Chain A
Amino acid sequence: MAQKILLIEDNPILTELYRSALEEKKLEVLITHDGEKGIEIAKNQQPALILLDLLMIGIDGYEVLKKLKEADETKNIKVIILSVINDQASKDKAKKLGASDYLIKSEIEISEIVRAVMAQL
């Protein structure tokens, strides 16, 4: 069975791009544009990994990460932050909350995102 990757990202163009790249690696991709729904999906589907945006409408990524790491069902799921925010404070905050990796959208190609994902699996 293919491993599940959950994308929590409100930009639908990005989720489509990530999805097609990850599906090439025979990964099952789940998508939501809503952080709250993302937490729910993570609990129900137990993905192997979560790619999480920080700046979203609805609850923001930090909040989602916090809730994921607090809940017993999801605390062991690895989370990679994928944000446009490029400062140390944000990175530290995310690490502190339990993110496995922190990627900056503007400085990365899709292939590198895929590589980062594969590295965590």
Chain B
Amino acid sequence: MQGMLSLSILVGTLISNLLIATFVYKNNPKSATNKVFGILGIIISLWLIILFLSQNNPDQSSYLILARMSVFLAAPMSMMYFMLAHTLPHSTLQLKKRSLIIMLVATGIVMAINLSPYTFTGVELSNGSPQPIVGPGMPPFGILSTFFSIGAVFLLIKKALFSSGVEREQFKYITVGILLMLGLIIGTIFVPVVIYNNTSFVPFAPLYTVLFLGLTAYVIIRHRFLDIRLIVGRAIAFLLFIFLCSGAYTIIVFWGVERIFNITIDTVTKITAVILSIFAALSFQPVFSRLSSLTNRIFFKGSYDSNKLLAELTQVMAQTIDLKVMTTSILKLLNKEMRVTKSAFLIIKNDTIESIINVNYPKRGLITKSLQEYFLKYLKRQSYIFEEMAEGKVKKFFRSFDIEVSIPIQVDKVNVAVLILGPKLSGEIYNVQDINLLNIFASQAGIAIQNAESYEEIKKFNVELEQRVEERTRELKESQERELAKARDIAKLKDEFVFIASHELRTPVTAIRGFLQLVESATKDYPPDVKENLGYMAAASEHLSQLINDLLEISRSEAGTMKIAVQPTNIVPIIKAITQEVSPQANEHKIDINLDIHPKAGLVLIDEKKTKEVMMNLLSNAVKYNRDGGNINISVFPFDHNVMVEVKDRGYGIPENQQAKIFEKFFRATNEKTGDVLGTGLGLFITRMLVEKMGGKIMFSSIEGKGSTFAVLLPAAPQKK
């Protein structure tokens, strides 16, 4: 019964120890600490098997071999223990090469001696149980193991005393492990056996090594390597699996074989077979990984898939260009997946914290002068993980701000940002998976943040540019409006001036003309030169009066005060009257005026007075700019719901290069005749103005040297039925 119990304890212990050793080793195979620990775990396990076999084997000859084997293994075990204490927590062996060689040689010699008949010369029976007889080979082993054990303990105590932070914690754990192992051995085995002669707890002894190894493993792994929960979870899963395997194996093989061949298989063979089956199962990779994922799913529901998270982070970085949106999304994603309570990005520009993107940190909690100081001194240089930091200023700072991890993000060795993470929701430390992921992420994030910053800059620049353009446009518009208003004011002022001036001038000019007529009519016997001068005066005053009238007309029109009242009017009498009016002048120059009026040209929608002015202008021009003995053709005919008035002269015409300007204010064509012609330069401008105000149209064509055609199209009055 006790045999079965001790067997199962042994098997459980072996599996636990081997698993712990494997996991610690696999966690970081390159680290010397992990290697040494792995080897130590295996040696302990082997030693436990030997010990068990020696205790449960009544055969004396094999007992001697087993006893020798146990001391054979004990030598490297103590050496590895010392090496572990010496190396921890570094990843390279701290021993000098010479010391290492001496250690290895010494241990090798002792191992050889221990296997030889000199350590245990034979076996004797005391109280019915076999006891080895100690020979002369024992002292070297005693010295070696004492040296290594005391050395290891000494190193651990020294390291515990002189280390700080996490390391100190680690050594505390190891010390606790040793003390627990020793205490339990003393309390449950030594005391009961020696004092009460009770051996019922002896089979539990191997379990105590699990305690030691477990705690030591925790120490190694806590040094950022792996979450202990992962080990425990996987170990449990593996245990379950292995128990199933070994159970099935035992039943099928031993039970089946014993039944079929009717033989009895001894316990040693059974154990050996079971252990071999375990190793076989473990070395089968698909089973191993399948089990790992299964365990993860059961024990690590909160865990995340590194690759998936990284892919998501990359996607966020690729899809968003806005700095704030991107960084906030990243933080939220990290918080959610890694189950981090709070996080922040310090955005760095020219070694200065430019802004802080913050999720769940107190709004103003991070913004302090000390942050900038710590950034320059520490944060920009390397990653910090709270758990790994030695007690000191930085750790204190981290504690006060609730920072667990700080990772600098760089592009080409220039700091772009610092990622800051607070404690995890579960209170767990950041494990190797987290740190690996964060490091990969940090290497990618730099470029993304830089891109976003450039985009931000362009955006800012664009906005600035737009503002500037807007401002300039506004300024321009304002100044334009100002100018326009000014121009309008000036124009108004000018119009007013012209209007008032013309009005005021009209009275004296009328007086002058009146008095001139009086003087002219007073006597007919003026001397010829006086008569001539009076004629000039009359012409000049006539011109002046015409100019004043024209100016008045224009200023009235431009001021909008011109009154135009169109009504159906027969245009024929108007044309006849004007023709009559200009005929004296025409006769003077022997100009023949032909009037061709179509019988259907009748009622037109016009202002009679203004139409008279128009016709007067056109006809007097036709006379003025005609040659002596020339002719004028006036034709009036209906055309497509309008009435067309054509005035054709066969005069000098208007040079082609001046034709475009003839309707402009104060324009006077220059041809061979114009020198003799008095004019204001306002006639045609007024004419067009009036025609257009009446809803008509005026155009002309001219052939230089041959004459001009002026065409006026006026809207016909609707026919009465």
Contact = CB atoms under 8 A, between A and B. Distances in A.
A and B: partners?
yes
Interface string A4-40: 0000001111101100000000000000011000000
B700 A12 contact: yes
Contact of A105 (B639, B648, B698, B702): B639
Given A10-B648, A11-B711, A13-B713, A58 B703 contact: yes
Contact of A17 (B596, B640, B650): B640
B377 interface: no
Contacts of B646: 11
Given A13-B711, A84-B596, A110 B640 contact: yes
Contacts of A116: none
Contacts of B702: 33, 57
Residue of B596, B640, B653 with most partner-chain A CB within 10 A = B640
B222 to A, nearest CB: 93
A55 B699 contact: no
Given A33-B701, A110-B640, A12 B598 contact: no
A72 interface: no
Nearest to B653: A57
A87 to B, nearest CB: 12
Contacts of A11: 644, 646, 699, 701, 709, 711
A55 B709 CA distance: 11
Contact of B709 (A57, A84, A110): A57
B290 interface: no
A57 B704 CA distance: 10
A12 B644 CA distance: 11
Contacts of A56: 709
Given A33-B701, A106-B637, A106-B639, A58 B711 contact: no
Contact of B699 (A16, A57, A58, A105): A16
Contacts of B598: 84, 106
Contacts of B665: none
B706 A14 contact: no
Nearest to A85: B596
B415 interface: no
Contacts of A13: 644, 697-699, 711, 713
B703 A57 contact: yes
B701 A10 contact: yes
Interface in B596-649: 596, 598, 600-601, 633, 635, 637-641, 644, 646, 648-649
A110 B640 CA distance: 7
Contacts of A33: 701-703, 709
A121 B596 CA distance: 33
A109 B648 contact: no
Interface in A80-115: 84, 105-106, 108-110
Contacts of B650: 57
B100 to A, nearest CB: 104
Contacts of A55: 633, 635, 648
B716 to A, nearest CB: 12
Given A34-B703, A57-B706, A105 B711 contact: no
Contacts of B649: 57
Contact of A57 (B601, B638, B648, B698): B648
A89 B641 CA distance: 27
Contacts of A17: 640
Contacts of A105: 637, 639, 644
Interface string A50-62: 0000011110000
B371 to A, nearest CB: 78
B596 A57 contact: no
B683 interface: no
Interface in B135-189: none
B214 interface: no
Interface of A: 10-14, 16-17, 33-34, 55-58, 84, 105-106, 108-110
The 7 closest A-B pairs by CB, nearest first: A33-B701, A57-B707, A12-B699, A106-B637, A10-B709, A13-B711, A11-B711
Given A10-B648, A13-B699, A108-B640, 12 more contacts: A13-B698, A14-B644, A17-B640, A33-B701, A33-B702, A57-B653, A57-B701, A57-B706, A58-B706, A105-B644, A109-B640, A110-B640
